Amino acid sequence: MAHLRSRRLLLIALPSTFGLLVLAYALTRLVVFLGIFGVFRPHSGVAISQPEIAIAHNRTDHDRRVAVVPKITHQIFHAWEQPGSTKLPSHWEEARRTCQELNPEWEHKIWYTDTSRAFLAEHFPWFLPTYDGYKFPIQRVDVLRYFLLRHYGGIYLDLDNGCAASLDPLAYYPAFTTDGGRGALSNNIMGGQPGHPLLVLLTEQLPAWDWNYLLPYVIISYTSGQWFVTAMWERYHWLLQADGTVQGMEGLGAGWKPLHHVLMEMRPGADAWVFFTQVRGGTWSNWDSHFFPWLGDHLVEVGLLVTGVPLLAVLACVWCARCRARPKYRQLASEEHQP
């Protein structure tokens, strides 16, 4: 009898334990993933609007802060459809011209396919195997900006972003990225001083994050794009110590602080754009590109679905195990021959 009871308990415990472990793992990964989108708490660092940046720079008393970002803009043009071409589409050329005209004292660099790889070969040759191995060309455009900012410093702008004012007020922020207000941070416009720990972290972690996630949008976003940037942004703030050092990068010195993410929302009622403009882009769309923006707008519902399905599966396993372990009623012979 004791043997049968132990067997029944085992039949219930094994699937229940396995199911709970699967559920715990799924929940852990879900929490980590949703953290990229600021579901549980706002993004680390300091959210700052473009008007606030302008006011801080243009206040009546002289700005006593030290400008730490070099006056360099970086843009990248890899002509995928016409390899080797250096001719920009007219709307991108016009957007680029606005930055040149409004920032005449800045150096404006543009990087093409050959000059991009030559830069990496000279300064970061250890990264070339990963760079050459990327499945999608946009991944190379994504990662190059991090290395350019790490080496030269300055401000990177996507080609579909132009300038609406001088970029000088942004030169006081040691490292920054932009925030579209829809979950993950963005990497369309970024800036920083050479060798900033965030930029070191971004570049050094790229090989370890180079995984095949099957879906094109996920591969691009999580290995090199905005999801990756957001994950590294959060990791930087987690590693930032009270004495201003960054854990694991103490050799870069102390005095580092929480970073600013510049608001660039396009929703009605959002803070005005002061420094940047937006023109037509969309050069890297894939078949799944429309699904994930929708997902970002329905994270709560999808999260409940993702957690609910494994939970129901666990309950179903427990119920099935209990049914199998339950003793079945057997009719006695005396009962069978009752008149």
- Interhelix angle 299-325/2-35, nearest 10 degrees: 170
Q: Which two tokens stand for residue 36?
A: 């990229």
Please check whether residue 319 lies inside any domain of the structure.
no
Please check whether residue 104 lies inside any domain of the structure.
yes
pTM over 0.75: yes
* Rounded distance between C-alpha atoms, residue 146 and residue 225, angstroms: 11
- Which helix (DSSP H) or strand (DSSP E) does residue 51 occupy? helix 50-58
Residues 6 or more apart whose CB falls under 8 angstroms from that of 152 comprise: 70, 72, 74, 109, 194
- Which helix (DSSP H) or strand (DSSP E) does residue 332 occupy? none
CATH code of the domain covering residue 258: 3.90.550
**Number of structural domains found in the chain:** 1
Please check whether residue 143 lies inside any domain of the structure.
yes
- The boundaries of the domain holding residue 149 are 44-288
Strand order in the sheet with 72-76: 46-48, 260-263, 175-179, 186-192, 154-157, 72-76, 107-111
Please check whether residue 302 lies inside any domain of the structure.
no
Please check whether residue 213 lies inside any domain of the structure.
yes
Please check whether residue 307 lies inside any domain of the structure.
no
* Rounded distance between C-alpha atoms, residue 202 and residue 53, angstroms: 25
pLDDT in single tens digits along all 339 residues of the chain: 556 566 666 666 666 666 666 656 555 555 656 666 666 789 999 999 999 999 999 885 666 789 999 999 999 999 988 888 999 999 999 999 999 999 999 999 999 999 999 999 999 999 999 999 999 999 999 999 999 999 999 999 999 999 999 999 999 999 999 999 878 999 999 999 999 999 999 999 999 999 998 899 999 999 999 999 999 999 999 999 999 999 999 999 999 999 999 999 988 889 999 999 999 875 655 544 454 454 555 555 555 665 566 666 666 666 665 665 555 555 555 555 555
* Rounded distance between C-alpha atoms, residue 167 and residue 155, angstroms: 9
Cα–Cα distances (Å) from 149 to 104, 175, 238, 240, 275, in that order, read 20, 9, 22, 20, 19
Please check whether residue 48 lies inside any domain of the structure.
yes
